[in-house]
Amino acid sequence: MPHDIVTIPCLSDNYAYLVHARESGETALVDAPEAAPVLTALKERGWRLAEIWLTHHHHDHVGGVARIREETGARVVGAAADAHRLPALDIALPVGARHRFAGAPVAVIGVPGHTVGHIAFHLPGSRAVFTGDSLMALGCGRLFEGTAEQMWASLGRLAALPPETLVFPGHEYTANNARFALTIEPDNAALKTRAAAVEKARAAGRPTVPSRLSEELATNPFLRANLPAVKAALGMAECTDVEVFAEIRRRKDAF
């Protein structure tokens, strides 16, 4: 792994991440829910912030940008399509772009659904993907702007990454997500094991992130709407993947 990644809990249940390139010493921040914990984490390590990568425009992901930028001079990087509603961008990235950071490629994956301009940042060299409020541990973001069809396609793009990829989401929602997932697949042994581990981690105050993509594929109901067993369990054997995904999302919204 050419990068060290530091998880920073922010606000009540958000995460920001520091991505530190070991060779060059450059550091990027993924999302800026608030400034203080980020500035403290940088100071503790003596790291200089070069870039701030934004997954989407919601306040709990960008609220700290102005102050962090002021204190560090970091460049702000985000989706070109959302430049009108993100903090002022120094680098506006189109979906599918290959950004470079500290000599390493960073792939910009379009993941509309939660918002239409939402992007994920994939670091193939470090087998890490930063997903914001698209794919989350055992869950996915609510559909505030996009359609179920868009989110299902977005999750499909993430699901196609190498299975060993580590998933770094924007929130600690895993315990609630696990309880919901068990209502969809009560007999999924891998899910039961994971749900128990999640409860234990949270009881000890430990983050449940990152998770392995392979783990998500085996246990996250939002990635499993295409499976005949899941469709059958919902009485939707004849339905399309998108219809089943939409039903799981609807149930979660009411959970």
Per CB under 5 A, 26 contacts Fe ion:
no
- Which residue's structure tokens are 């994939």? 122
Per CB under 5 A, 122 contacts Zn ion:
no
Q: Which stretch binds Zn ion (CB under 5 A): 80-88, 127-135, 186-194, 211-219?
A: 127-135
**Phi-psi label, residue 102: left if phi above 0, alpha if psi -120 to 50, beta otherwise:** left
| Residues in binding contact with Fe ion, number by CB under 5 A | 3
Which of these is catalytic: 20, 56, 57, 118? 56
For the question of residue 133 being annotated catalytic, the response is yes
Radius of gyration of the chain (CA): 18
For the question of residue 57 being annotated catalytic, the response is no
Which of these is catalytic: 20, 57, 58, 118? 58
Query: Residue 47, SS3?
Result: coil
DSSP strand pairing (135-136 vs 211-212): unpaired
**Run of H or E including 106:** strand 104-110
x-marked contacts with Zn ion along 12-51 as a string, rule CB under 5 A: ----------------------------------------
Q: Which stretch binds Zn ion (CB under 5 A): 4-12, 52-60, 71-79, 85-93?
A: 52-60
User: Cβ-closest residue to Zn ion?
Assistant: 58
235 Cβ contact partners less than 8 Å away, ≥ 6 residues apart: none
Per CB under 5 A, 172 contacts Fe ion:
no
For the question of residue 58 being annotated catalytic, the response is yes
The one-character DSSP state at 210 is S
Q: CA end-to-end span of the chain, whole Å?
A: 38
Per CB under 5 A, 58 contacts Zn ion:
yes
Query: Nearest CA to 16 among 172, 155, 214?
Result: 172
199 Cβ contact partners less than 8 Å away, ≥ 6 residues apart: 175, 178
Residue closer to Zn ion, measured from CB, 133 or 247: 133
Which of these is catalytic: 3, 57, 61, 118? 61
Per CB under 5 A, 133 contacts Zn ion:
yes
Residues with a catalytic annotation lie at: 56, 58, 60-61, 114, 133, 171
